[in-house]
Amino acid sequence: MSSMYDLHTHTIHSDGEMLPIELVRRMAVLGYGTVAVTDHVDTSNVGTVIASLLPVKESALLFGVKLLCGVEITHVPPAQIAELARQAKEAGADIVIVHGETPVEPVAPGTNRAACGCRHVDVLAHPGMVAIEDALLAVQHTIALEITSRGGHNRTNGHVVQIAREAGCQIVVDSDAHAPHDLLDERARILVAKGAGLTDAESRDVLSLNIDRFLSS
């Protein structure tokens, strides 16, 4: 199975344009081995979003893709993030990401801190001007900081790389895809990584991350 991964994508179950299996099929054609569908959730829909995705795992395997059933906790008050992440994992989520304090949306201050201090969170998505203190918390809880290709959210990729280096935090590169034109081929993934300031060696390590090992650590 290919080592290419994307841990942040959306479907018609939130604000994306594709059915989950169409997304998986397009990713398979691009050469991905692991894809996480992480539709937006809050307290109103976390269980139903996960339940709707679980049956697609078998279909994804027939296309040679390991589908991770996930969620993106989005615009939830920081005080509720830990409990919602726990609920998501108990409902069957393979991966939980949190919509970080991107510079282009009114995410509540303290969201990054709440996410990085939660043992049920796996990735802090587009974390904006993330603080070193939050990144150090992320290291303690084995949470990755995301480098994203999504317009607007990607304005602070360089800062995220610098902070992740200083803290020793894992980085992942994701598309935050909502539509077919958002999906990244292999060359585009490399450009996103290097454009954020990762060296050749760092890019190779980040882009070939063993996702199973990362999520089980």
Per-residue pLDDT reduced to its tens digit, 148-198: 999 999 999 999 999 999 999 999 999 999 999 999 999 999 999 999 999
What gap in Å lies between CA 110 and CA 156, rounded to an integer? Answer: 17
Q: Where do the structural domains in the chain lie, given as residue ranges?
A: 5-216
Domain 5-216 maps to which CATH number in 3.40.50.2300, 3.10.180.10, 3.20.20.140, 3.10.290.10?
3.20.20.140
What gap in Å lies between CA 5 and CA 10, rounded to an integer? Answer: 14
What gap in Å lies between CA 116 and CA 79, rounded to an integer? Answer: 13
Region 194-212 average pLDDT = 97
Residue with tokens 């995301």, as numbered in its chain: 146
What gap in Å lies between CA 63 and CA 110, rounded to an integer? Answer: 40
Q: Are 4 and 10 in contact (CB under 8 A)?
A: no
pLDDT at res. 3: 84
What gap in Å lies between CA 98 and CA 114, rounded to an integer? Answer: 9
pTM of the complete model: 0.97
